[in-house]
Chain A
Amino acid sequence: MLFLIELIESVRSFVATGGNVLYFVAFALLLMWILMIERYWFLSANYPQLRDDIIARWEAREDTTSWYAHRIRDTWISEATELLERNMITIKTLVAMCPLIGLLGTVTGMISVFETMAQQGTGNPRLMAAGISMATIPTMAGMVAALSGVFFSSRLDAKVKLAKAKLVDSLPHH
Chain B
Amino acid sequence: MKKTINFVLLAASMTLGLSTAANANELDKLLQQVKNDRISQAKLDKKREAEFTSARADKQALLNKAKAELKAQQERNKRLTKEYADNEITLAQKEVELDTAQGTLGEMFGVSRAAAATAYGQIVTSIVSAEYPGRGEKLNEIANSKKIPELEQLEELWIALQTEMTQSGQVSQFNVEVTKLDGSKSTEQVTRIGTFNLVSANGFLNYNDEVGQVQPLAKQPAGYISDTASKFFGETSGYHPVYIDPSRGAILALETRKKTLMEFYHEGKEVGYGITVLLIIGMLIALERMIVLGAVSAKMKAQEKNLDQPNENNPLGRLLKVYHDNKGADSETLELKLDEAILRETPKVDRGINLIKMFAAIAPLMGLLGTVIGMIMTFQTITLFGTGDPKIMAGNISLALVTTALGLIAALPLILVHSIVAGRSKSVLHKLDEQSAGLIAAIAEKESN
B410 to chain A, nearest CB (A): 11
Complex contact A115–B398 (CB within 8 A): yes
Complex contact B402–A93 (CB within 8 A): no
**Interface residue A55 (Cβ < 8 Å from any Cβ of B):** no
- Residue-wise interface mask of A (122-137) relative to B, using a CB-CB cutoff of 8 A (1 in contact, 0 not): 1000000000000000
Residues of chain A within 8 A of B426, CB atoms compared: 89
Which chain B residue has the least Cβ–Cβ distance from A87? B423
Residues of chain B within 8 A of A69, CB atoms compared: 441
**Interface residue A160 (Cβ < 8 Å from any Cβ of B):** no
- Tell me the complex Cα distance, A72–B440, Å: 9
**Interface residue A111 (Cβ < 8 Å from any Cβ of B):** yes
Interface centre among A67, A77, A92, A118 (most CB of B within 10 A): A118
**Interface residue B416 (Cβ < 8 Å from any Cβ of A):** yes
Complex contact A121–B438 (CB within 8 A): no
B432 to chain A, nearest CB (A): 11
**Interface residue B218 (Cβ < 8 Å from any Cβ of A):** no
From 62 to 99 in chain A, residues with beta carbon under 8 angstroms from any chain B beta carbon are: 63, 67-69, 71-79, 81-82, 86-87, 89-90, 92-94, 96-97
Query: Which of B397, B420, B438, B444 makes the CB contact (< 8 A) with A76?
Result: B438
**Interface residue A29 (Cβ < 8 Å from any Cβ of B):** no
Residues of chain A within 8 A of B351, CB atoms compared: none
- Residue-wise interface mask of B (420-441) relative to A, using a CB-CB cutoff of 8 A (1 in contact, 0 not): 1011001100100011011111
Complex contact A78–B435 (CB within 8 A): yes
Complex contact A71–B398 (CB within 8 A): no
Complex contact A119–B257 (CB within 8 A): yes
Which chain A residue has the least Cβ–Cβ distance from B396? A114
Residues of chain A within 8 A of B445, CB atoms compared: 63, 68, 72
Q: Tell me whether A121 and B390 are in contact in the complex, defined as CB-CB below 8 angstroms, given that A68-B331, A103-B408, A108-B405 are known contacts.
A: yes
- Tell me the complex Cα distance, A79–B433, Å: 12
**Interface residue B43 (Cβ < 8 Å from any Cβ of A):** no
A143 to chain B, nearest CB (A): 15
- Residue-wise interface mask of B (58-94) relative to A, using a CB-CB cutoff of 8 A (1 in contact, 0 not): 0000000000000000000000000000000000000
- Tell me the complex Cα distance, A25–B397, Å: 26
- Residue-wise interface mask of B (394-407) relative to A, using a CB-CB cutoff of 8 A (1 in contact, 0 not): 11011001101100
Residues of chain B within 8 A of A93, CB atoms compared: 415-416, 418-419
Which chain A residue has the least Cβ–Cβ distance from B434? A78
**Interface residue A110 (Cβ < 8 Å from any Cβ of B):** yes
- Tell me the complex Cα distance, A87–B418, Å: 13
Interface centre among A76, A87, A89 (most CB of B within 10 A): A89
Q: Tell me whether A100 and B408 are in contact in the complex, defined as CB-CB below 8 angstroms, given that A90-B420, A90-B423, A114-B397 are known contacts.
A: yes
- Tell me the complex Cα distance, A93–B445, Å: 41
Complex contact B441–A68 (CB within 8 A): yes
A74 to chain B, nearest CB (A): 6
Which chain A residue has the least Cβ–Cβ distance from B444? A68
A54 to chain B, nearest CB (A): 12
- Tell me the complex Cα distance, A104–B412, Å: 9
A18 to chain B, nearest CB (A): 16
Q: Tell me whether A78 and B430 are in contact in the complex, defined as CB-CB below 8 angstroms, given that A71-B438, A118-B391 are known contacts.
A: yes
B364 to chain A, nearest CB (A): 8
Q: Tell me whether A97 and B438 are in contact in the complex, defined as CB-CB below 8 angstroms, given that A107-B401, A118-B394 are known contacts.
A: no
Which chain B residue has the least Cβ–Cβ distance from A117? B390
**Interface residue B116 (Cβ < 8 Å from any Cβ of A):** no
A28 to chain B, nearest CB (A): 9
- Residue-wise interface mask of A (42-65) relative to B, using a CB-CB cutoff of 8 A (1 in contact, 0 not): 000000000000000000000100
**Interface residue A101 (Cβ < 8 Å from any Cβ of B):** yes
Query: Which of B395, B402, B434 makes the CB contact (< 8 A) with A74?
Result: B434
Complex contact A104–B401 (CB within 8 A): no
**Interface residue B198 (Cβ < 8 Å from any Cβ of A):** no
Complex contact A114–B398 (CB within 8 A): yes
Which chain A residue has the least Cβ–Cβ distance from B258? A115
B447 to chain A, nearest CB (A): 11
Complex contact B394–A114 (CB within 8 A): yes
**Interface residue B409 (Cβ < 8 Å from any Cβ of A):** yes
Interface centre among A71, A79, A103, A121 (most CB of B within 10 A): A71
Q: Tell me whether A72 and B401 are in contact in the complex, defined as CB-CB below 8 angstroms, given that A90-B419, A104-B412, A118-B390 are known contacts.
A: no
From 7 to 49 in chain A, residues with beta carbon under 8 angstroms from any chain B beta carbon are: 24
B341 to chain A, nearest CB (A): 15
Residues of chain A within 8 A of B394, CB atoms compared: 114-115, 117-118
Complex contact A101–B412 (CB within 8 A): yes
**Interface residue B101 (Cβ < 8 Å from any Cβ of A):** no
* A contact residues vs B (CB 8 Å cutoff): 24, 63, 67-69, 71-79, 81-82, 86-87, 89-90, 92-94, 96-97, 100-101, 103-104, 107-108, 110-111, 114-115, 117-119, 121-122
30 contacts between A and B (CB under 8 A): A67-B331, A71-B441, A74-B435, A74-B438, A75-B435, A75-B439, A75-B441, A78-B438, A82-B430, A89-B419, A89-B423, A89-B426, A90-B420, A93-B416, A97-B412, A100-B408, A100-B412, A101-B412, A104-B405, A107-B405, A108-B405, A110-B401, A111-B398, A111-B402, A114-B394, A115-B394, A117-B390, A118-B391, A118-B394, A119-B254
The 5 closest A-B pairs by CB, nearest first: A75-B438, A118-B394, A78-B434, A68-B441, A93-B419
- 9 extra interface residue pairs, beta carbon distance < 8 Å, beyond A63-B445, A68-B441, A77-B434: A67-B331, A68-B442, A71-B437, A71-B440, A76-B438, A100-B412, A104-B405, A118-B394, A118-B395
